[in-house]
Amino acid sequence: MNTNDCTMLPMRETWEAQPATATVRSARLSVVHTARSWSVPLSEESLRDVELCAAELITNAVAHTGKPSRVTVQWTGMRLRVEVADSSPRLPDRITDEMSTGGRGLLLVEALSHSWGWYPVEAGKVVWFEVAPDQVVTGDARLAVLVFATQVHAAKARAKVWVRKNEPKAKVAR
C-alpha cells in the first residue's frame, strides 16, 4: 500500500473547560473553530447544530459538577464527534415530563445530532454526540426542535421568577 494514497485524518483536539458559565461560550466556539480548521464537510447550518449540542453538553457538565470538564473533538472521516467528560457519576437524563423545567437539553442533542450517548469512566462519565455531513435537520423538523428549546428556556425563566416572587419575606430581628 502506498502511503501517499491514504487520507490523513486530523488528530483529536482536547482541552479542559473550566467550571464557569462564561467557559461554555468559548468552549462551544472552540468546537466549531476546530471543525472549520479541519475543513470538515459540514454546512454552516450543521455547524450551528454542533455548536448548540456542544453548548448543551458543556453546560450540563458545568451545572452538575462545578469542576473542570474535558472537551474532545474528533473527525472520524464520516462524522464529527464531540465528547464532554465530567466527574459526576450522575447519568445523563432525558426528561420528557412537560412540567419539568430542566433536563430537556439532551432531547435537543438527540434531535439535532446523528447519534449520541454516554459511557462511564473511572472519574465520572463521557457524554458524546456525532454529526454527519448529511445529517441536517431542516424545515419544519428544525423549527419544531428550536421552538421546543425556546419554550424550555422560557419555562425555566418563568419558574425562577415564580420562586423569587413567592419566597417568604425575610424577618428582621429587632
The predicted-structure confidence for 100-157, as pLDDT tens digits, reads as follows 445 568 888 998 999 999 999 998 999 999 999 865 555 566 556 555 555 555 555 4
CA–CA distance, 96 with 102 (Å, rounded to integer): 9
Whether residue 71 has pLDDT greater than 60: yes
Other CB atoms within 10 Å distance of the CB of residue 21: 9
| Residue 172 banded pLDDT, cuts 50, 70, 90 | very low
| Residue 9 banded pLDDT, cuts 50, 70, 90 | low
Per-residue pLDDT, 12: 86
Among the ranges given (47-56, 59-68, 92-101), the one the predictor scored with the smallest mean pLDDT: 92-101
Q: Flag whether the pTM goes above 0.75.
A: no
Instruction: Name the 3-class secondary structure at 19.
Output: coil
How far, in Å, are 26, 27, 123, 127, 129 from residue 18 at the CA level?
A: 10, 9, 16, 17, 20
Per-residue pLDDT, 170: 44
Q: pLDDT digits over 125-135, tens only?
A: 999 999 998 65
Whether residue 163 has pLDDT greater than 60: no
> 33, exposed or middle or buried, with CB in 10 Å at 0-12, 13-18, 19+?
middle
For residues 1-12, one letter each, b for 16 or more C-beta atoms within 10 angstroms of the residue's C-beta and e for the rest, the string is: eeeeeeeeeeee
